[in-house]
Structure 1
Amino acid sequence: MRFPLFALFEAWAVTKLIRSPMFNRAVHKAYRKINKLEPMEPENGLQRTGPSALDHFKDEVKHQFRELTWQKRPPKQ
């Protein structure tokens, strides 16, 4: 009677492991290392495909500030 319960638990555990993102990352990393392929992720784990929203915001603020200050104020008398 113990064997079917153990087999059921083992099947559940293997299914959970295979569906785990961390396990899949480890398998892909090992596969790429064994086959001497380039890593898909940067070494630090950050994936940047372009400027961030903060970069866009800073650029927009600079642009608006330039538009406001391009006209010099008249000198005080």
Structure 2
Amino acid sequence: MKLPFLMLIEAWAVARLIRSPTFNRAVHSVYRKINRLPPLEPPNGGGRTGPSRFDHFKDEIKEQFKELTWQNRRPRK
């Protein structure tokens, strides 16, 4: 017979595991292998190609900074 405290911990651990994205990816991967289904994600790292959102953000900040510094330059003598 399990103690109620241990049953509570077990229920919490199972619920947390089921909500875990890593656990869900592993279950989907195993399911697809067992049923011989093709993988959902391309092998190149999730299918992301080209610049990321952060790269776009950096480029935009650089452009705005160039415009700002261009307007504040003193004329040459």
TM range (shorter): 0.5 to 0.7
Aligned residues: 52
Shift of 1:47: 2.0
* Contiguous gaps of at least 5 residues in structure 2: 57-77
Distance 2:43 2:11 in 1: 34
Task: Give unpaired runs (5+ residues) of structure 1.
Answer: 58-77
Q: TM-score under structure 1 normalisation?
A: 0.58
**SS where residue 37 of structure 1 aligns?**
coil
SS in structure 1 opposite 2:3?
A: helix
Q: 2: distance between equivalents of 1:39 and 1:52?
A: 22
* Offset of residue 43 of structure 1: 1.9
Deviations 1:18-75 (A, max 9, x none): 0000000000000000000000011232323xx6457xx8xxxxxxxxxxxxxxxxxx
Partners of 1:13 and 1:19 lie apart in 2 by 10
Q: How does 1:35-74 map to 2 (within 5 A)?
A: 35-48=35-48, 52-53=50-51
TM-score, length basis structure 2: 0.58
Alignment partner of 1:14 is 2:14: yes
